[in-house]
Structure 1
Amino acid sequence: MSEELHPVAIRFLAYIRLEKRYSEHTFAAYQQDLTQFFTFLQSSYGDVPLKGITHSHVRTWLAWLMEHSNVAKTVNRKISSLKSFFKYALRHGEVSMTPMTKVTAPKIGKRLPGFIDEKGMRALEDNHSMRRGEEKEPVFMDGLEGRTHQLIFELLYNTGIRLSELISLKERHIDAGNLSIKVLGKGNKERIIPISPHLMEEINTYRAVCRKELAEYDQEVLLVNPKSGRKLYPKYVYNVVRDYLTRHEITTINRKSPHILRHTFATHLTNNGADLNAVKELLGHSSLASTQVYTSNSIEKLKAAFKKAHPKG
């Protein structure tokens, strides 16, 4: 870890990695934010003891960030990192009060999560391209590679799981009897997600094709690389989703990442009247506020329908 970091910050990072078991991505973000803050503090004010850090120090750092083209969303993440750190320091008696109580986060312009419309998802489920002049061209080819790619889409859209959760799915997490899967989410929190008989059938078909086409493969995980038989890695899944959505013109949304299928899952549920608390549990959100953004998509759909159909629209 960086020499610029305060010893308490080093202990805090060890705590979130070893005890809280945060993901490598989240840990790296905390480490970057704290290193940047303490480096700025040292270069601007010299040696400031932890108990001497005030809201003025933090505000000056935030102003510097905004001047150097950091967007509000990034700055808010850095504020969150500092809040967590000082809360830890307060709990362990390293400070008597946190400077973050007088720090206000900048407002972020509301941006609705992108999603694929139901027509686009039907094209994937019916396995035909939406490209003009190529009617009913299969999206997913026969064989293990095509089956792997299809199951990636089926799982992401039908369960709303994250990319990291998808590639970590184990064979033992599939409960055929209860038609459900066990997912290990953020902070090692487990949740159970129901699946349809159709998806269970797709999983069984995929298993059979794996046994037929691969002499050796990792039988502990559900999804494997169709060429090597090893566990999938994030970039592989990202490239598969982006390639299919682009090549077959499934959606016009620019950012074609696996996360768009999670947004699509949640938006389609709320559009069709699903209880928001149920959607929250399925997504593994810790608070309802994270889930409520999908109701905005539903409202936007109602507005569009009103504008198109109502005489006074």
Structure 2
Amino acid sequence: MSNDQGSTLSIENAIILFRDHLREKGKSERTIEGYCKQDLKKFVEWLSVRWVDSGTTQDLCIANVTKTDIRDLVSFWKTNTPLAASSINRQIAAIKSFFSFLNEEGYIPINPAADITVKRIQRQNQIKWLSRQQVGRLFHAIETQQHAGQLKRVRDKAILSVLVNSGVRNFELTNIKVNHVSEGSLLIQSGKGDKQRIIPIGGNTYRSIQEWLRIHEGDTEYLFYTSRGSKLTTRAVQHILKKYSDMTGVLVTPHMLRHTFAKQLAERVPRLELIADILGHSSVDVSRIYVTPSMREMQVAIESVEFMG
């Protein structure tokens, strides 16, 4: 097909051509209906509203669809809808397959969806968190270690307390300043667009911080610092946890402690909005993994009701 013909091809007619193409490829009617009557229909509806709202009068022809149109739609899906990541990825796949077909068949000279990426799915069974017993072993190792002075023991206990009891990210921990600490709360700078959030902390965590502040000797505005007096780095935090991991045999990283906090929170208050706000998630969909049963949890549940044969 020539570019002149392609420039007048309506999106509706392009979808019909795509549907016929899928049938020729042997796709099931269920897949065809999902792509054409559901996913691409949503795309056309969104595009119609977008073009009207922007004040343009252009026809709904495939030649008028730009990479920006598609990117904005996908961005909207990823950040402003309650859809699961798998549903969003199916819709993205439909759009990418649709425009790939149109480009390969010569209906459009350039594929505007070629660089669009799917939404990353973080599967719960790939996420590791610690049991309360394992966390207890880490605290015990800090309190009983013989090769560190009081300064490091108190500092390390406060670091572990903040990480596992507030769910802050490693770089957020290292950016906490002394004046960010209030009784019952912490001011957290996320570093994502200079965003800030205030999160509550429990009494035990606050007392650990206060115990550290009473012997805080660093000439720095930051809460945690190194023996040289400089701001604690994320790599230094990883090194500190690695030391206690080696001592106890409990594999631990800053992000595992974040997951541990989130999982404990979800088991007691399974509200996605609350979890997302505390953890600083951009979407409640990211928090969904903590309220979804893991394979191990499902296995335990099944074994608890299993009948004897």
The question of 1:303 aligning with 2:298 is answered yes
1:197 aligns to what? 203
Kindly indicate whether the alpha-carbon contact (under 8 Å) linking 1:112 and 1:293 is maintained by their aligned counterparts in 2: no
1:243 aligns to what? 243
Kindly indicate whether the alpha-carbon contact (under 8 Å) linking 1:128 and 1:139 is maintained by their aligned counterparts in 2: no
Kindly indicate whether the alpha-carbon contact (under 8 Å) linking 1:140 and 1:146 is maintained by their aligned counterparts in 2: no
Deviations 1:190-247 (A, max 9, x none): 111101122111111111122xxx4xx233111111x112110111111111221232
Deviations 1:27-47 (A, max 9, x none): xxxxxxxxxxxxxxxxxxxxx
Give the 5 Å matches for 1:201-240.
Answer: 201-210=207-216, 214=217, 217-225=218-226, 227-240=227-240
Inter-partner Cα distance in structure 2 for 1:175 and 1:139: 32
Kindly indicate whether the alpha-carbon contact (under 8 Å) linking 1:140 and 1:147 is maintained by their aligned counterparts in 2: no
**1:304 Cα shift?**
2.7
Inter-partner Cα distance in structure 2 for 1:264 and 1:271: 11
> Which residue type is aligned with residue 196 of structure 2?
E
1:260 aligns to what? 256
Distance 1:98 1:233, change over 3 A: farther
Distance 1:311 1:275, change over 3 A: same
2:187 aligns to what? 182
Distance 1:223 1:302, change over 3 A: same
Distance 1:202 1:109, change over 3 A: closer
Q: CA RMSD in A?
A: 3.5
- Aligned with residue 151 of structure 2, among 141, 144, 150: 144
**1:104 Cα shift?**
6.0
Inter-partner Cα distance in structure 1 for 2:117 and 2:231: 43
Distance 1:137 1:206, change over 3 A: closer
Inter-partner Cα distance in structure 1 for 2:289 and 2:121: 14
**1:293 Cα shift?**
1.4
The question of 1:124 aligning with 2:138 is answered yes
TM-score, normalising length from structure 1?
Answer: 0.57
Inter-partner Cα distance in structure 2 for 1:109 and 1:206: 35
**1:288 Cα shift?**
0.8
Deviations 1:112-155 (A, max 9, x none): 31111121112234x248xxxxxx95599551111121111111
Inter-partner Cα distance in structure 2 for 1:161 and 1:104: 28
Deviations 1:242-288 (A, max 9, x none): 2212321224xxxx421111111101111233422111100000101
* Structure whose alpha-carbon radius of gyration is higher: 2
Inter-partner Cα distance in structure 2 for 1:98 and 1:250: 50
Inter-partner Cα distance in structure 1 for 2:135 and 2:170: 18
1:17 aligns to what? none
The secondary structure found in structure 2 opposite 1:100 is: coil
Give the 5 Å matches for 1:1-313.
Answer: 99-100=112-113, 103=116, 105=118, 110=123, 111-125=125-139, 127-128=140-141, 138=145, 142-176=149-183, 179-185=184-190, 186-210=192-216, 214=217, 217-225=218-226, 227-251=227-251, 256-296=252-292, 298-312=293-307
Inter-partner Cα distance in structure 1 for 2:284 and 2:127: 16
Kindly indicate whether the alpha-carbon contact (under 8 Å) linking 2:276 and 2:287 is maintained by their aligned counterparts in 1: yes
- Greater CA deviation, 287-296 or 98-107? 98-107
Deviations 1:53-92 (A, max 9, x none): 98xxxxxxxxxxxxxxxxxxxxx9xx9xxxxxxxxxxxxx
Kindly indicate whether the alpha-carbon contact (under 8 Å) linking 1:167 and 1:233 is maintained by their aligned counterparts in 2: yes
Q: Quote the sequence identity (%).
A: 25
Distance 1:140 1:258, change over 3 A: farther
> Which residue type is aligned with residue 189 of structure 1?
K
Kindly indicate whether the alpha-carbon contact (under 8 Å) linking 1:116 and 1:264 is maintained by their aligned counterparts in 2: yes
The secondary structure found in structure 2 opposite 1:292 is: helix
Equivalent residues, number: 205
Inter-partner Cα distance in structure 2 for 1:309 and 1:295: 20
Unpaired runs of 5+ residues, structure 2, are: 1-65, 68-88, 93-109
1:10 aligns to what? none
2:17 aligns to what? none
The secondary structure found in structure 2 opposite 1:282 is: helix
Deviations 1:130-186 (A, max 9, x none): xxxxxx95599551111121111111111100111000001111112xx10010112
TM-score, normalising length from structure 2?
Answer: 0.57
**1:311 Cα shift?**
2.4
> Which residue type is aligned with residue 204 of structure 2?
H
